[in-house]
């Protein structure tokens, strides 16, 4: 549902599980940051495309995502225009680590390990970018958290403001 006319100020949204499984795809609040634009993983330029698997699932954005089993050096690169970007993907017990470059400059290493699978989760958010065109590159490290059982890296898309 869409709620409007709430007025300025703080609001609380409570979601109560009555029974069964509750999946929340997204919650957007229009305000100073407005709604993000979503860029699907199919827009990525992939190095070694044959290494990237199309994972089809109703639980991911747009019904599929790109999954790399851990080939170090493989990457997914997106072009976008905005001042803030969030990479969306999966985390799980058999996921590895990836380096992030923004505009060709190393930003950080992200750890996609989680004891439980997390779908459509934020892998990294970068804000304060100068207005205009940018690139973000997700590079498979071939490394993993000591608790992980694998090296997988994935990308489900971007949200851009």
CA–CA distance from 117 to each of 4, 33, 49, 145 (Å)? 33, 29, 25, 15
pTM (predicted TM-score): 0.79
Please state the φ and ψ torsions of residue 136, each to the nearest 5 degrees.
-130, 135
Give pLDDT, residue 28.
Answer: 59
With cut-offs at 50, 70 and 90, classify the pLDDT of residue 25.
low
Provide the token pair at 115. Answer: 């004891």
Greater model confidence, 30 or 123: 123
CA–CA distance from 129 to each of 39, 51, 86, 135 (Å)? 17, 31, 12, 11
Which residue, chain included where needed, has tokens 């989760």?
A: 121
84-138 pLDDT, tens digit per residue, is: 999 999 999 999 999 999 999 999 999 999 999 999 999 999 999 999 999 999 9
User: Chain centroid to CA 84: how far?
Assistant: 13
């Amino acid at each position: 549902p869409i709620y409007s006319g709430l007025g300025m100020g703080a609001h609380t949204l409570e979601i109560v599980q009555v029974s069964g499984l509750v999946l929340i795809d997204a919650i957007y609040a229009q305000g100073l940051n407005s709604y993000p634009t979503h860029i699907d993983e199919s827009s990525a330029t992939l190095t070694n495309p044959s290494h990237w698997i199309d994972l089809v699932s109703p639980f991911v954005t747009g019904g599929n995502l790109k999954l790399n089993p851990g080939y170090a050096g493989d990457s997914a690169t997106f072009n976008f225009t905005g001042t803030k970007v969030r990479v969306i993907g999966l985390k799980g017990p058999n996921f590895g680590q990836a380096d992030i470059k923004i505009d060709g400059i190393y930003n950080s290493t992200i750890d996609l390990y989680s004891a439980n699978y997390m779908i459509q989760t934020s892998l990294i958010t970068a804000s304060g970018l100068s207005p205009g065109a940018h690139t973000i590159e997700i590079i498979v490290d071939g490394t993993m958290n000591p608790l992980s059982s694998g090296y997988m890296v994935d990308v489900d898309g971007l949200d851009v403001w």
